[in-house]
Amino acid sequence: MKKIKIGYFADGPWSHLAFEKLIKDETIDIKFIVPRSDTKDETLKKFSEKYGIDYLYPVKINDTDFIEKSSSYGCDLFVSMSFNQIFRKQIISVPKLGVINCHAGKLPFYRGRNILSWALINDEKDFGITVHYVDEGIDTGDIIKQNIYPIKEEDNYQTLLNIAYSECANILFDAIKEIQLGTAKRIKQNTIHSVGFYCGRRGVGDEIINWNQTSRELFNFIRSICRPGPISVTFLNGEEVKINCAKMVNEAPSYKGIPGQILSKAKLGYLVKTKDSFIEIFDIETNVKLKVGDRFKNEL
């Protein structure tokens, strides 16, 4: 089989397992690695030293100098895995087989950022991982492969992240092999849905709990940003209270009360009133002592 030469644009844990899978295939030749310009990841640099692969850092991928530099490698394909620069028309045209990206979202839905958190917040029953060609839009290129994974009641951000780390490596490898063999499909995203949707980046302040939500909404919110995410935050007597875990209470009745009030101690933590019923919170970090009757606030 003829070798396929690739340029690897990547960063973080998402990219490590994928690299280790690609480098074992003697018909895949990684010509260079480009990490994020703000990278704190030393693993890819160590990979480059171990395997004698050029490490290009820092670069602006759409600048003329880099376009000329990357063209000199004669790559067949550019591969993006957790990379954060936008590929414009000129750089997309450099490799003869195009540019592909691995995205932890069920395209054409869940384009954009922080997809695993948004899938949990939206109470999805599954999430997708998609490998697609890169075009001038954001996550809009033709789909090559897509796998769907169930979201179980016990899942949270950490468990979905673990699945995505390993499965991104697998699906990316499979997509590259299909491209190499000339069997890769191109599925237009508008044949799945005419519009799809985008998710925005989550930022500072988005971790604050709104107790005027239903128990299901709060359960999903807390599990969506648990460790290694920012962790959900509420406030009591001017002090910050971090809540890493929550659990639905089976058959909790719906009734009126004061959202955010601590109702009782529970097996793992505390029962807290929500808009419609109550949930159990636990794995709590705070400097303030919690007691029954206290009322959490949505702000300081």
177-182 contacts at long range (C-beta below 8 A, 24 or more positions apart): 177/25, 178/144, 178/145, 179/4, 179/77, 179/97, 179/100, 179/144, 180/1, 180/2, 180/4, 180/27, 180/28, 181/1
Q: Tokens standing for 45? A: 């640099």
Q: What is the pLDDT of residues 225-244, one digit of tens each?
A: 999 999 999 999 999 999 99
Residue type, 54: D
Say whether pLDDT at 133 is over 90: yes
Say whether pLDDT at 1 is over 90: no
Q: What is the pLDDT of residues 137-157, one digit of tens each?
A: 999 999 999 999 999 999 999
Taking the C-alpha atoms of residue 119 and residue 151, their distance in angstroms, rounded to an integer, is 9
Q: DSSP code of 230?
A: -
Taking the C-alpha atoms of residue 228 and residue 114, their distance in angstroms, rounded to an integer, is 13
Q: In terms of DSSP H, where are the helices of the chain?
A: 12-23, 43-51, 64-71, 89-92, 115-121, 157-181, 215-224
Q: Please give the distance of CA 29 from its chain centroid, rounded to a whole number.
A: 27
Cβ burial, residue 195 (10 Å; 0-12/13-18/19+): exposed
Domains of the chain and CATH, by start:
4-199 (3.40.50.170), 215-286 (3.10.25.10)
User: How close are the terminal C-alpha atoms of the chain, in Å?
Assistant: 63
pLDDT, position 299 = 85
pLDDT, position 177 = 98
Say whether pLDDT at 203 is over 80: yes
pLDDT, position 300 = 73
Q: What is the pLDDT of residues 21-37, one digit of tens each?
A: 999 999 999 999 999 99
Query: Which pTM was predicted?
Result: 0.95
Contact 62, 88 (CB under 8 A): yes
